[in-house]
């Protein structure tokens, strides 16, 4: 039996109080990856108590010194990049180069937020009264509940945990059940880097039990959640009822516009990477291609030829282009949309099958799939599929393309391929998404700019960059009156003589 991966509470690795466990198997091979302790609400109680107690000292720990701990953590992540990438591929399936990119994003975010230990700037402003000083400062909230998905099992936790820690908050962290080992590895590194006892706490288990217990816990005033829109909306209702601060990062239905003046080979590169990278299991995946009719047939031919030649397989094999879907249930969900698209009258141009030949039969593989002649209101053009399926939607103008891009409930990422700078700036002006690319695909965000979306993609907060600090801190405005008398703003006017 594999070693048991445990919770981390108050600086100790401990089993869940229930004594129960759960397994995770490699989605490409079916081989056992790990056995994990299965937690319940009582484990969340212990983690929240540890985090609450640790907050009293951690919030007073100098922020530059907190940064030094994160610098050490970033260095450890960098030193172990290859090991972490291989373990990630075994656990959730993405091809090894993409796993390395996932780890690198965590490295970059940790270094970046370490630097914020010396840059948590506030403001100083002139007062309207004499002998009075005005300023604002950031203050941490307390215990942060962090609930993360399986598709970016190091990058996304780093987006949340590092800004939370550098600003003086403590953490109760629940990674996705499919990628619990990556959660353990990240916490091991933070522990080794010198994070004090109780500042970071890890609780393994399912979302319905552990995730809900974190969200409902009275000692966890702030929640950062990434997951499905349906789950996120439920979290929003419960968090509002409990007056909690909440950041939601949810679904996407991202689109690539290809205009008639675009470099079609470059556009095809961007589409294939955006649609089929991580087997389409990205919130920024391009599941729509809004293409000008003048180049629709040519672009479709290029995409069909290239997608048809992509190789499915174990992500640890360097020749693999597309790894497995994360689970049997997710594979079933993705494949169901193929039937939906055909029933709606879209033309299946390539793919559409679950791969069951040879070694692929041991895992959860789906062919890269492209639909052509899709209408904007079809379900495959409106609903998030979260798999290697994309839809070509023909249009006659840039204005129509922009309307199609904006005509979904989500607003995370979009892109446009064009050689006309005026068209590019029209897209920048009129497309209502949190992220927009010009002459690139819909994926590949960098950690020093805000990440997040509009409409049903989120609730207005952003991750990454300095925007993340705004979520994990509360502003305090401070007024220092050194006049020696009571001065009343907006009531007591200061007379100022010319030249006096």
Q: Which residues carry out catalysis?
A: 249, 283
In the chain, the N- to C-terminal Cα span, in Å, equals 84
Q: If you write DSSP's letter for every residue of 425-448 in order, what string do you get? A: HHHHHH---SEEEESS-S----TT
What is the pairing mode between strands 347-350 and 369-372?
Answer: antiparallel
If one counts every other C-beta atom within 10 angstroms of the C-beta of residue 373, the result is 14
Contact by Cβ (8 Å): 138, 474: yes
Here the contacts of 217-220 (C-beta below 8 Å, separation 24 or greater) are 217/44, 217/45, 217/48, 217/145, 217/172, 218/242, 219/48, 219/49, 219/51, 219/52, 219/142, 219/143, 220/48, 220/51, 220/142, 220/143, 220/144, 220/145, 220/172, 220/244
Whole-angstrom CA distances from 155 to 97, 109, 373 are: 14, 8, 36
SS3 353: coil
Contact by Cβ (8 Å): 179, 207: no
Contact by Cβ (8 Å): 454, 448: no
- 278 Ramachandran zone, left/alpha/beta (phi>0; psi -120 to 50): left
If one counts every other C-beta atom within 10 angstroms of the C-beta of residue 135, the result is 13
SS3 462: coil
Whole-angstrom CA distances from 167 to 14, 68, 215 are: 27, 13, 21
Q: How far apart are CA 371 and CA 375, in angstroms?
A: 10
């Amino acid at each position: 039996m594999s070693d048991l991966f445990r919770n981390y509470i108050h600086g100790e690795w401990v089993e869940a109080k229930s004594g129960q466990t759960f397994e995770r198997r490699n989605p490409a091979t079916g081989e056992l990856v790990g056995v994990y302790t299965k937690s319940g609400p009582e484990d969340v109680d212990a983690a929240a108590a540890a985090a609450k107690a640790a907050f009293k000292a951690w919030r007073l720990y100098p922020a530059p010194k907190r940064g030094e701990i994160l610098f050490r953590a970033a260095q450890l992540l960098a030193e172990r990049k290859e090991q972490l990438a291989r373990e990630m591929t075994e656990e959730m399936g993405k091809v090894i180069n993409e796993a390395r990119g996932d780890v690198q994003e965590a490295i970059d975010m940790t270094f970046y937020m370490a630097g914020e230990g010396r840059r948590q700037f506030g403001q100083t402003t002139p007062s309207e009264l004499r002998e009075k000083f005005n300023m604002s400062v950031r203050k941490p909230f307390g215990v942060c509940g962090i609930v993360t998905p399986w598709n970016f099992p190091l990058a996304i936790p780093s987006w949340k945990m590092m800004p939370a820690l550098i600003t003086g908050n403590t953490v109760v962290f629940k990674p996705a059940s499919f990628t619990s080992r990556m959660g353990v590895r990240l916490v091991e590194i933070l522990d080794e880097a010198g994070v004090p006892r109780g500042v970071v706490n890890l609780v393994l288990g399912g979302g319905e039990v552990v995730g809900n217990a974190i969200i409902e816990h009275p000692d966890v005033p702030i929640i950062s959640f990434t997951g499905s829109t349906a789950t996120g909306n439920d979290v929003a209702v419960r968090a509002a009822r409990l007056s909690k601060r909440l950041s939601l990062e949810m679904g996407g239905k991202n689109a690539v516009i290809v205009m008639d003046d675009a470099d079609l080979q470059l556009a095809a590169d961007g589409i294939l990477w955006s649609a089929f990278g991580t087997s389409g299991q990205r919130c920024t995946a391009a599941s729509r291609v809004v293409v000008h009719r003048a180049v629709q047939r040519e672009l479709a031919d290029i995409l069909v030829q290239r997608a048809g030649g992509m190789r499915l397989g174990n992500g640890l094999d360097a020749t693999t282009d597309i790894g497995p879907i994360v689970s049997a249930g997710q594979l079933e969900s993705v494949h169901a949309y193929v039937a939906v698209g055909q029933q709606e009258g879209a033309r299946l141009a390539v793919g559409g099958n679950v791969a069951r030949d040879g070694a692929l039969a041991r895992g959860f593989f789906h062919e890269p799939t492209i639909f052509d002649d899709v209408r904007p209101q079809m379900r495959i053009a409106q609903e998030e599929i979260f798999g290697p399926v994309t839809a070509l939607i023909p249009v006659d103008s840039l204005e129509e393309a922009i309307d199609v891009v904006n005509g979904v409930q989500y607003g995370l990422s979009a892109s446009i391929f064009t050689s006309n700078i005026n068209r590019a700036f029209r897209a920048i002006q009129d497309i209502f998404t949190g992220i927009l690319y010009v002459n690139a695909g819909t994926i590949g965000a960098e950690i020093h700019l805000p990440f997040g979306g509009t409409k049903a993609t989120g609730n207005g907060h952003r991750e990454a960059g300095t925007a993340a600090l705004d979520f994990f801190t509360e502003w305090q405005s401070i007024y220092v009156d050194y006049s020696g008398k009571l001065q009343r703003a907006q009531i007591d006017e200061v007379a100022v003589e010319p030249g006096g």
